[in-house]
Homo-oligomer: A and B are copies of this chain.
Amino acid sequence: MARPSSPAAESAAGTAAADAAGPDRRDRAWLQALTTEAAALDRSSTAERVADALRRRVTEGHLAPGTRLSEEQLVAVLQVSRNTLREAFRLLGHEGLLVHRLHRGVFVTELTDEDLVDIYRVRRAVECDVVRRLGEVLDPAAGPEPLGQLRADVEAGEDAARRGDWSAVGTANMHFHQHLVALAGSPRLDGTTARLLAELRLAFQGAAAEHVHGPYVARNRALFELLHAGRTEQAATELEEYLDVSLAHMTDLRHGPRR
């Protein structure tokens, strides 16, 4: 998630090289695939690994929102220097998971109700726009079925729901929306949605995963079917209602059904 670059580039390039004629075509495909992977190779950098570790702890709920992350303590545990730890803090801070108060330290972000509204405000703008403009980019050639990833996410969610694994339902749901936006092919939109969904995970903590994620496997399926049928405008309005309902649901879960 740190690199919003689109995955699945390799498989697409592979099939493209297979049916292409001429050695030049294949060379270009290979190079294309290599360059996309090159960025992922040198991604090490201790700070990013530390950030990954902390991100997992936060998004999986091991660190409650509001808790302070002591530099001294984490330096001792993670076996890294204070500077690199601070670098990791910066990374997560710009992702919205950690908030940095001057001379006070870093804390796990506490989402206010306004934040929740704001997040869904942006999601609605981004995701609905992506869906509405899908026709401009999706129809031609229909290459390797761009919706395949979405279908996989929907089915993964349904499987997990049957198994009662509501945590897996949640991640499948996240992947569904991430991949939905990825259809636009915009690195910046990918990045913003990745940040939004990461922040949203903070709000999921402390509530029963079944109630948080359960109701949306059916809606994901419905949305996917609309997209697959090419009814983008209808899908967009469905998605708008989807997100509004989801926001209302979230605020209810926080304050109790009535306030």
A: residues with CB less than 8 A from B are 4-5, 42-45, 83, 86-87, 90-91, 94, 99, 102, 115, 118-119, 121-122, 124-126, 128-130, 184, 186-189, 192, 196
Pick from B42, B90, B130: contact of A102, CB under 8 Å: B42
Identity of the chain B residue whose Cβ is nearest the Cβ of A45 in the assembled complex: B102
How many copies of the shown chain assemble into the complex? 2
Chain B contacts for A90, CB-based, 8 A: 87, 90-91, 94
Interface of A (DSSP majority class): helix
Chain B contacts for A83, CB-based, 8 A: 83
User: What are 30 pairs between A and B in contact, CB < 8 Å?
Assistant: A4-B115, A5-B99, A42-B102, A43-B102, A83-B83, A86-B87, A87-B87, A90-B90, A90-B91, A94-B94, A118-B186, A118-B187, A118-B188, A118-B189, A119-B188, A121-B184, A121-B186, A121-B188, A121-B189, A122-B186, A122-B188, A122-B189, A122-B192, A124-B129, A125-B125, A125-B130, A125-B189, A129-B129, A188-B196, A192-B192
* A48 CB to nearest chain B CB (Å): 9
Chain B contacts for A44, CB-based, 8 A: 102
Further 10 A-B residue pairs, CB within 8 A, beyond A42-B102, A125-B126: A86-B87, A87-B90, A90-B94, A118-B189, A119-B188, A121-B186, A121-B189, A122-B186, A122-B189, A125-B129
